[in-house]
């Protein structure tokens, strides 16, 4: 079953699995309002959206004919290109359709976490700036066997759990809302500072912004709501704090991963989490 949602979002249900996919080029358009945006065709089955920024650099988002992300590339003014996200495994052709539903989910056991919990799950209410920088630059807590595609990372919780995470528990969303009240925006400053420090060390870092909801409501509604929450945070980080949009990618998980195990309304479950996923994309085990 496929449901087309407003805002270039698509919900795909296959068996017991439900996934939401969104077109992140719309976020680029909103956050880089003074940028030149154009769309080109490559061959018969690829579409490239090019965002040219005032500094002359370009961000290229390549999608197939079904809208599936293939890769994200930064092109420097001198012409050098850096692949930030690769979403197609080498030598494996993706069948037509909503591609990431066609691939096998990566089956891994939960990682054996040997670092203290407060360094593995960093809660911003209690964390210092140094704690957040450490989480955004730390290596995987367990060996990464190979480079994974973005969709493989999005679909496999045990794979994502190889990386520490930062819970934005100082940010609170109202029930059913993805909007962040203006008086809470400054709560993101310490997160932005940590991201900027990590990106200054490696301009090619990629961070996954994960949106979540509580367990009240329909699965499809919660997926959309959580995806919009993740997009809200990513957009504010770029517009207000100058985090490059291409260093962020978003995904909504609805009510799949509750922080507090309850079916009742629970503010702690209406949250956003960030984690560095560069080592998973590149198959690296060290910083």
The distance of Cα 162 from the centroid of its chain, to the nearest Å, equals: 15
- Grouping H, G, I as helix, E, B as strand and the rest as coil, residue 251 is strand
**Residue 263 · residue 215 · CB < 8 Å:** yes
The enclosing domain of 255 has a CATH number of 3.30.1330.60
Residue 199's pLDDT is what?
97
| 89: number of Cβ within 10 Å | 15
The size of the chain, in residues, is: 287
Q: Give the residue carrying structure tokens 């996954």.
A: 208
Q: Determine contact, residues 228/211, Cβ cutoff 8 Å.
A: yes
Residue 262 lies in a domain: yes
Instruction: Establish if 111 belongs to a structural domain.
Output: no
**What is the pLDDT, as a whole number, of residue 66?**
79
Cα 133 to its chain centre, rounded Å, is 18
Give mean pLDDT, residues 54-82. Answer: 90
> Which tens digits make up the pLDDT trace of 169-224?
888 888 888 999 888 999 999 999 999 999 999 999 999 999 999 999 888 899 99
The confidence score (pLDDT) of residue 2 equals 66
Let me know if residue 109 belongs to a domain. no
**In-domain check, residue 287:** no
Hey, is 130 helix, strand or coil?
Answer: helix
With respect to residue 130, please indicate whether it lies within any of the assigned structural domains: yes
Model pTM score = 0.91
Short-list 42, 90, 45, 86, CA closest to 64 = 45
Q: What is the maximum alpha-carbon separation in the chain?
A: 55
Domain presence at residue 138: yes
Residue 107 has pLDDT above 70, yes or no: yes
For the chain, report the end-to-end CA distance as a whole number of angstroms: 41
In order of 55, 95, 137, 206, 220, the CA distances from 130 in angstroms are 30, 44, 11, 19, 37
| pLDDT cut 90: percent of the chain above it | 58
Q: Is the pLDDT of residue 34 over 90?
A: no
- Does 127 map to a domain? yes
Residue 136 DSSP one-character state: H
Domain tally, the chain:
1
In 3D, which of 227, 168, 160 has the Cα closest to residue 18?
Answer: 227
Domain span at residue 263 reads: 2-104+116-282
Within a domain: residue 151?
A: yes
| Radius of gyration, CA atoms only, the chain | 18
Sign of dihedral through CA atoms 7, 86, 65, 36? positive
């Amino acid at each position: 079953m496929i449901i087309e949602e407003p805002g270039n979002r698509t919900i795909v249900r296959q068996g017991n699995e439900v996934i939401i996919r969104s077109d992140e080029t719309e976020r680029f358009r909103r956050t880089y309002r003074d940028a030149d945006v154009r769309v080109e065709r490559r061959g018969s089955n690829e579409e490239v959206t090019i965002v040219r920024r005032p500094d002359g650099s370009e961000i290229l988002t390549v999608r197939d004919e079904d809208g599936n992300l293939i890769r994200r590339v930064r092109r420097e003014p001198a012409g050098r290109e850096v692949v930030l996200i690769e979403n197609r495994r080498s030598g494996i052709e993706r069948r037509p359709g909503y591609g990431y539903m066609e691939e096998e989910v990566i089956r891994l056991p939960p990682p054996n976490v040997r670092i203290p919990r407060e360094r593995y799950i960093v809660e911003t209410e209690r964390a210092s700036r140094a704690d957040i920088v450490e989480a955004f630059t730390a290596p995987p807590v367990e060996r990464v066997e190979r480079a994974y595609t973005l969709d493989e990372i999005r679909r496999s919780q045990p794979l994502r759990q190889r990386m520490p995470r930062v819970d934005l528990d100082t940010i609170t969303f109202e029930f059913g809302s993805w909007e962040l009240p203006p008086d809470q925006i400054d709560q993101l400053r310490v997160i932005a500072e940590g991201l900027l420090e990590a990106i200054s060390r490696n301009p090619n870092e990629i961070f996954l912004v994960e949106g979540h909801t509580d367990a009240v409501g329909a699965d499809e509604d919660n997926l959309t709501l959580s995806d919009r929450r993740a997009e809200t945070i990513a957009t504010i980080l770029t517009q207000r704090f100058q985090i490059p949009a291409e260093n962020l990618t978003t995904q909504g998980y609805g009510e799949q991963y509750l922080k507090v195990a309850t079916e009742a309304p629970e503010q702690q479950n209406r949250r956003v989490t960030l984690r560095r996923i560069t080592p998973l994309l590149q198959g690296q085990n060290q910083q």
